[in-house]
Chains A and B, each alone.
Chain A
Amino acid sequence: MSDIAAEHPIEPTSLGIDNRKLVVWTFIASEVMFFTGLIVTYIVMRGRSTTGPYPEEALSVPLVAINTFILLSSSFTMVTALSAIQRGDARGLRRWLIATAVLGLLFLSGQAVEFTTLFNDGASLSSNLFGATFFTLTGFHGMHVFVGVIWIAFVLARAFRGGVTKDNHLAVELVGLYWHFVDIVWIIIFTVVYLLRM
């Protein structure tokens, strides 16, 4: 195996793969279906609202485009963190993980601003079908980002204690897989919900 997808010292398993990594990929596979369900429900229901606000008048692309850039950047900082520890650069790992968590929090702040604007415009979970499906979808995504930030914080705490090294960095790889998946979900949401809003 290449050192890019790192091999880790583990107890032997029947597949020769670390169970923790297998669990994360299985979880991601289930999440693909989960978010597809939410996204398709949104597509079907958004045009069925009998009262406003409607997506084409409520959603604003500029703020969300900035948020998208923030989340894409956070994927880059995350993969750079993994790359750093694969070189044995523990300081670089900590620095890039902190950057990733900060970008995640910035994304959540942007989402909070967006949600507040939408609430003020009369959109909410109970306003109409657009509101119900929009906030369920983006809210679940935001919750995933929040969980990701917490997860990064745990890995970071371990890194500061010296528990993440060049030869033992599965924790970074796993949180990275989750984080990149959450980024992918946003890539699809940005296009389907915001750019194809009319």
Chain B
Amino acid sequence: MESEQQSKPNYLGVFAALVVLTATEVAVTYLPVPRLPILIPLSITKAVLVVLFYMHLKYDRRLFSGLFLIGVFGALAVILSFVLLFQPPLLDVAK
């Protein structure tokens, strides 16, 4: 897929964002706030940053994004299956 943006991503900027997000995650565990709704989005943001910029999915052929998304949907199916199978204990430990 021809990318409109030909300039290279700011790899150092992405790295800085990853470090800041990780530090924020660790800091959150010391604060009296609910962890799950803050930490999971932060973690997913970090993963997306790596996929888009370090693995170049943002700039690469759409086919690779499609392949990766098939894996992600499969993963969501795995999570859903486990939630349905083990719902009460899962909710207990994930609070």
Contacts and interface: CB of A to CB of B under 8 A. Distances in A.
Interface in B52-75: 53-56, 59-61, 63-64, 67-68, 70-72, 74-75
Interface string A64-93: 010011001101101110010000000000
Contacts of B19: 69, 72
Given A28-B68, A72-B15, A72-B18, A65 B59 contact: no
Contacts, number: 140
B34 to A, nearest CB: 11
Contacts of A76: 11-12, 14-15
Nearest to B29: A195
A5 B75 contact: no
Contact of A43 (B35, B47, B94): B94
B46 A196 contact: no
Given A68-B22, A196-B94, A17 B75 contact: no
Nearest to B92: A47
Interface residues of B, number: 53
Task: Give the bracket for the number of chain A residues in contact with chain B.
Answer: 35 or more
A26 B63 CA distance: 10
A36 B79 CA distance: 7
Interface string A32-72: 11001100110110111000000000000100010011001
B68 A2 contact: no
Interface stretch (A104-112, A148-156, A184-192): A184-192
Given A1-B61, A191-B42, A196-B94, A79 B54 contact: yes
B78 A33 contact: yes
Given A4-B8, A43-B94, A187-B43, A15 B82 contact: no
Interface in A158-198: 176-177, 180-181, 183-184, 187-188, 190-192, 195-196
Interface of A: 1-5, 15, 17, 21-22, 25-26, 28-33, 36-37, 40-41, 43-44, 46-48, 61, 65, 68-69, 72-73, 75-76, 78-80, 83, 176-177, 180-181, 183-184, 187-188, 190-192, 195-196
